[in-house]
A and B are shown apart, each in its own frame.
Chain A
């Protein structure tokens, strides 16, 4: 690994966020993930606006769908339409198994769609595996352009 993968977690549910943060930090290091709580904050972070000035460009975005102010579908559409951000992999991480949500996300070029398991142990396992896959195996673009 040339450098640690940086995740941005966009998640309004504190319990879900805590679990994911813990697993990612264990898998990829203590500074491997930042968290924001809704889509508006996510776009500010990605565009380094407001309190997020100077933030690093994340290598992977983990994106909940149902959030206040701006939902995940809108964030996904904005990221993939932005020439500076579109190369960042976006992994939707949601409770929704709705086929319309799945196809809408793929039509907007989501990189992966994960459904949060209701079972606690499975949730933990998935969080660990996604950290391993995107944090260790997948090769991000890095900070070019």
Chain B
């Protein structure tokens, strides 16, 4: 069923959330890989293969927090979706914000999916498992 192993990029400044997400993605999804950056500036450097990220693979899925230092998720989303080379990478917003204004802005800028981090640890863990399964196994990414 799997055509190839997938590579995730996680842009998340909260270390606890990142740890949970990384652990869950690694635990459940056979062979898929994941890299982690801490803010939007790093995310854009990674995606463009700049600075310390020269030679990094193009991610198949970007998991994107909204509230991050230096450059927030909305700006990353806009830059990626306006870039003809990067725009076909699915972006899953993963945030604590359930504000209607954030959802509207994200969907208008072509976020592929919008997930609100549950406050409950078990629910959070369950959601990450489901997102790993959905985007790591079922969804077919755009190659290149």
Chain B: interface residue total (CB-CB under 8 A): 28
Cβ of B140 and Cβ of A130 under 8 Å apart? no
Cβ of B140 and Cβ of A87 under 8 Å apart? no
Q: Which of B100, B131, B142 contacts A103 (CB 8 A)?
A: B142
Per the bound structure, the CA–CA distance linking A112 and B114 in Å amounts to 12
CB contacts (< 8 Å) of A106 on chain B: these are 87-88, 90, 142
Cβ of B1 and Cβ of A117 under 8 Å apart? yes
CB-CB nearest in chain B for A110: B112
Does A40 interact with chain B (Cβ within 8 Å)?
A: no
Q: How many A-B residue pairs have CB under 8 A?
A: 77
CB contacts (< 8 Å) of A141 on chain B: these are 100, 103-104, 107
Cβ of B143 and Cβ of A99 under 8 Å apart? yes
Cβ of B138 and Cβ of A126 under 8 Å apart? yes
Known: A133-B134, A138-B114. A112 touches B139 (CB 8 A): yes
Q: Which of A113, A132, A137 contacts B139 (CB 8 A)?
A: A113
Cβ of A129 and Cβ of B138 under 8 Å apart? yes
Q: How large is the interface on A (under 10, 10 to 19, 20 to 34, 35 or more residues)?
A: 20 to 34
Per the bound structure, the CA–CA distance linking A138 and B88 in Å amounts to 20
Main secondary structure of the interface of B (DSSP, over half): mixed
Does A115 interact with chain B (Cβ within 8 Å)?
A: yes
Per the bound structure, the CA–CA distance linking A29 and B44 in Å amounts to 41
Residue among B104, B107, B140, B142 facing the most chain A CB atoms (10 A cut-off):
B140
Does A97 interact with chain B (Cβ within 8 Å)?
A: yes
Q: Which of B103, B138, B143 contacts A139 (CB 8 A)?
A: B103
Q: Which B128-144 residues have a C-beta within 8 angstroms of A?
A: 130-131, 133-134, 138-143
* 9 interchain pairs, CB-CB under 8 A: A86-B107, A89-B112, A103-B88, A103-B143, A112-B113, A113-B140, A138-B115, A139-B103, A142-B103
